[in-house]
Structures are given as C-alpha cells and as structure tokens.
Amino acid sequence: MSTPTEEPAWKQRAVERSTQAAKRRAEQRVERFLDAAQAIMAEKGTTDFTVQEVVDRSKQSLRSFYQHFDGKHELLLALFEDAMSKSAEQLRVLATEQSDPLDRLRVVVQELFESSRPDPATQQQPLFTDFALRLLMSHPAEMRVANAPLLALFTQLIQDLEDANLLRPGFKAKRVAALTMQTVMFNAQSSGQDAAHPLTAEEIWDYCAHGITGND
C-alpha cells in the first residue's frame, strides 16, 4: 500500500514537464478544431456542419477529434459556453458605462436583444439561437452552466435595482434575473425569425421593465 515516497524530484519535474508539453499539444489541437468549427459556422451561418467538415478543415483526423471531444455535442457546447461568456463580458463592460442602475439594465437588455436576434451580418449568431434551444431541451444542466455568466450579470444588475428600491416589491432579484434574461433572448429569437413582427429593443425593454399594465 505504501507508495514509494522516494520519487526523486527531478523525475517528478520531468514527468511534469512532459505532461505539460502533452497538455499544451492537446490544447493546440483542440483549438484547431474549435477554430475550424467557428470558421465553418461563420461561413454557413448554421450549426449544421458535419464532424468530417471540421476535421478536414482543421487538417486533423477523426481519430484525433474523438480523442479530444466526447462527440459533436461537446464541441458545440465548448463553442457555446465560450460565446456566452464573451458576450457576458461585453455586456458587463457596456453596463459600467451607465451610472443609473435602471439605465445599466436597460442597455444590457437592449444590447442582448440585438445581439441575440438572427442577423446575417455578424458571425457567431447561430450559437445564440439555433444551438441554444437544442441544448435547453437535451442538456438543461449544461445549459445552466453556459448561461451562468450572463445570469450573474443580470442578477447583479437587478440586485442594484433592488438596493435602489427600484425593484417591484416582492420580487426576488435572482428569479427576476433569470426570467428577464430568458425573455429577452427567446423573444429576440422568435421575433427575429419573423419579418412581420420585428420587435424592437425598446419594445422589449418597456415590456420587461413595466409589464403589460404598467401599474399595480
């Protein structure tokens, strides 16, 4: 049972070094798959690429792909988490430019709405839409993880509102945050698909902020 406690330090370091080298190599390969996938999505505008396409594009092999990813799903998830996290970052920055707590939330809601609607201009939109919905149904837990950064931002912004006594009495910041985030993203999605009801960012903000009746 007793493990050899006399592992020479140099050996440990050597193992460590080669382990780190291997890790670095692996990360590079993963990166190449990720980049290839992103490029393909940008070109085709959907998440409907084949694993083979990614493999070819990245000039690696199927063998290697499945060595690094559990499957196509993992690849999508990685890209999605990344995109969500980056998006949360951007929005957070945007928020800091506003001093009024209500304005902070407003700009974030409106910008999230704009960036969540399908737009042929920007690249990585499909992730925010196409894949997000599939993920919601198939892997809610992973969806929660991917949403976490954005949810944290919303929670904080609404907490600020609460501190400023601007949150409707009886509401819990965290729950309103989740509700608002989902509402904005989903409605951006479904309205964007539809040329007839192109909701505006202002409309959705008015709705979220004041509700249907606009009073108690």
Task: Report, in Å, the least distance between residue 103 CB and DNA.
Answer: 43
Residues 60, 123, 156, 183: which binds DNA (CB under 7 A)?
60
Q: Alpha carbon of 131 to those of 2, 21, 71, 77, 120: distances in Å?
A: 50, 33, 15, 9, 16
| Rg, C-alpha atoms of the chain | 22
Whole-angstrom distance, CA of residue 177 vs CA of residue 46 = 29
* 50 belongs to the binding site for DNA (CB under 7 A): yes
**Shorter beta-carbon distance to DNA: residue 72 or 92:** 72
Binding pattern for the stretch 62-101 against its own copies, x by CB under 8 A and - elsewhere: ----------------------------------------
Size of the site for its own copies (CB under 8 A): 50
Both structure tokens of 152? 């944290």
* 204 belongs to the binding site for its own copies (CB under 8 A): yes
Q: Alpha carbon of 83 to those of 39, 78, 174, 182: distances in Å?
A: 14, 9, 22, 16
Q: Which partner, its own copies, DNA, none, binds residue 198 by CB below 5 to 8 Å per kind?
A: none
Sign of CA dihedral 125, 198, 176, 210: positive
Binding site for DNA (CB under 7 A): 11, 14, 17-18, 21-22, 25-26, 29, 48-52, 59-64, 66-68, 71-73
